[in-house]
Structure 1
Amino acid sequence: MNQLISIVLPVFNEEAGIQVTIDTLLNYIEQQEESYELIFVNDGSSDKSVPIIKKAMNQNNHIKLVEFSRNFGHQLAITAGLHYAKGDAVVVMDADLQDPPEVIPQMIQKWHEGYQIVYGKRMQRDGETVFKKFTAKMFYRTFEKLATIKMPLDTGDFRLMDRKAVNQLLKLHEKDPFVRGQVTWIGFRQTSVKYHRQERIAGETKYPLSKMIKLALDGITSFSMKPLQFVNVFSMVPLVSSVFYLGYMIASRNYSVASVGITILLFTLGLLMLSIGIIGSYLGRVLDQVNDRPRYIVSKTEGFEERNKGIHNLNTRQMHS
């Protein structure tokens, strides 16, 4: 039976290297036994990424395009690609070739062995700063300690998912999804293949520090209540400290009321601000869910013959909410 493999690639201003990515993937799929579709999800690019993809589409019917109305973010671009993928298995990878296509056959082999999710485990990360490697390592290990799920260490979104796993993943409707955490949460038989993450072929990273922090916060607040539990502990610290310090001052009779009062006040305010910030992160996620806006808006699709009748040209709440 000829199986269809969908490859989902989020795209955001990849003009410098997208043509190399397209050529590399087309060369790869021509050598494979399975059938393939390449689904590029344009996440509001402002450069020439889309014209390059469309030019390639005119020459090859394996390529399909989903265009957002604006930039909605990498994780939602992955989610949209999964909605449009029709494959028996779906591979998610970046459009900069840091995730090498040569790893996909290993994932497919594991899939044929009965695993429904096969993720790429990074053994080496080329072209990344010491700071980024360190913060990534710290995030995964902090997440492991805090989260209620056991997400594999040193893994990104590069993975293969069986159709059954994809269908279950699409039932989740978080406004700010942390996809790799969601994939772990849904379960199924999961395994890894080790690979060497390559340096970007061109362009700059689309995950600067601000986006890395947001992704980390989305991940932790999606799958852990421990920060909220820490708030309860923090709230007791100033009270207990004040009682002991008051006892010490009375016993020693060596104190300045003004200085001690100011110190305790500043300490208490600092803990309160930290606690409020943690609670605010969770309340923000609740607000996003209550607003019930569509998670993203698709302005246009191309290459999906059976869908190009106007049904999916604009976002529908049923499909994308």
Structure 2
Amino acid sequence: MMRSEGLLTEAELSVVAPVYNESQNLRPLLDRLIPVLESCARSFEIIFVDDGSTDDTIEVLRKAHDLDPRIRAVSLSRNFGKEIAIAAGLDHISGGAAVIIDADLQHPPEIIRAFVEKWREGYKNVYGQRIDRAADAPLRRVLTQRFYRLFGAVGEMQLPEGAGDFRLLDAKAVAALKTMREHARFSKGLYAWIGFKSIGVPFEVAPRLAGHSKFSYRKLTHFALDGLMSFTTMPLKIWTYFGLATSVLALALAAFYVIRTLLFGVDVPGYASLIVSITFFAGIQLLSLGILGEYIGRIFAEVKRRPLYLVEERLGLDERAGEAFPPRPDVA
């Protein structure tokens, strides 16, 4: 939406930037982002989603909005996480396409020009494709590579190599995403699941301008579990196969011991082997119950039908925008 003689009209391009304690990065981001958008879009809006920041992020956004009404913001009532913040931003856009970008300038705003060019060629899902992960810590780089290999092996679909949240989505693709209100969100999987005509644009990840990553290894582990359990039931199937193999082995051993006893008599039972066997299978049972619990816990969170997020404040946006459960759009 753009202001024109006191009225709100639709923007051609909407930019969604989730932020959490990023006040130091906002001004440098806008200094680079606005000239790019002015050069490639007839009209635009920039929607920041303040995900419960504890610094002065919302104050900086208020001042930016006062200076330029094209800069808008949604302030959530608490920290809901980046995936939910992205969903909240997409709920509030008015543009014919939405660009999702991080606020730490690791996503170069200049790449948006290439996104828009591909969009105008007819692509509805234009994603930034990382050339490498040199900006990540070595351990994080290795774990990320292992995760995507595992996801590719057991997931319902293949994720484009190097693709992340930095992308342009046509309004039709955004409408499709709005119909998906699950809480345990793995956006990269959702982008691939909706399909549409897609293409990648290579880019190099820049060093973070200020601050530090908000994703600890604990959060990354939880995020990885959400991704795997949202798009595959393989962890459940593994225990079915393991149980079947164990049953076959147990029957074979039982037959072996019956035959040996009939031929050679009864041996003295081995205490050590008995304890090891009991401990091993008890651990296997607890592990399988834990995996079942992860799935059941996610089902429990969904059936409560709580809204994805709660809004504390909106800057420059319709107060009715971004309903918790928006009407299901026609994406046919």
TM over 0.5: yes
Counterpart amino acid of residue 296 in structure 1: Y
Quick one: distance in 1 between partners of 2:152 and 2:225?
14
Equivalence map 1:147-296=2 (5 Å): 147-244=155-252, 251=260, 256-296=269-309
Equivalence map 1:56-95=2 (5 Å): 56-95=64-103
Shift of 1:167: 0.6
**Corresponding pairs, count:** 314
| Structure (1 or 2) with the larger CA radius of gyration | 2
Unaligned runs of 5+ in 2: 1-9
In structure 2, the partner of 1:297 is 310
Question: Does residue 120 of the first structure (1) align with residue 140 of the second (2)?
Answer: no
Quick one: distance in 2 between partners of 1:34 and 1:210?
42
Q: Is the 8 A contact 1:5 1:88 kept in 2?
A: yes
Quick one: distance in 2 between partners of 1:302 and 1:258?
71
Q: Is the 8 A contact 1:9 1:94 kept in 2?
A: yes
3-state SS of 2:24 partner: coil
Alpha-carbon displacement from aligned partner over 1:229-262 (angstroms, at most 9, x marks no partner): 1011222344444445566677598774211211
Unaligned runs of 5+ in 1: none
Q: Is the 8 A contact 2:40 2:116 kept in 1?
A: no
Q: Is the 8 A contact 1:126 1:199 kept in 2?
A: no
Shift of 1:27: 3.1
Quick one: distance in 2 between partners of 1:199 and 1:234?
45
Alpha-carbon displacement from aligned partner over 1:171-193 (angstroms, at most 9, x marks no partner): 11112211111111111111111
In structure 1, the partner of 2:115 is 107
Counterpart amino acid of residue 267 in structure 1: F
3-state SS of 2:309 partner: coil
Q: Is the 8 A contact 1:12 1:44 kept in 2?
A: yes
Q: Is the 8 A contact 1:126 1:198 kept in 2?
A: no
Alpha-carbon displacement from aligned partner over 1:33-91 (angstroms, at most 9, x marks no partner): 43221100000000111111111111111100001000001000000000001110101
3-state SS of 1:30 partner: helix
Shift of 1:20: 1.4
Alpha-carbon displacement from aligned partner over 1:182-218 (angstroms, at most 9, x marks no partner): 1111111111111111111110101111111111111
TM-score in terms of structure 1 length: 0.91
Query: Cα–Cα, structure 1 residues 3 and 317, in superposed 2: closer, same or farther, change >3 Å?
Result: closer
More displaced 10-residue stretch of structure 1: 121-130 or 237-246: 237-246
Q: Is the 8 A contact 1:11 1:95 kept in 2?
A: yes
Query: Cα–Cα, structure 1 residues 198 and 264, in superposed 2: closer, same or farther, change >3 Å?
Result: same
Quick one: distance in 2 between partners of 1:257 and 1:205?
54
In structure 2, the partner of 1:18 is 26
Percent identity of the aligned residues?
Answer: 35
Shift of 1:3: 6.3
TM-score in terms of structure 2 length: 0.88
CA RMSD of aligned residues (A): 2.2
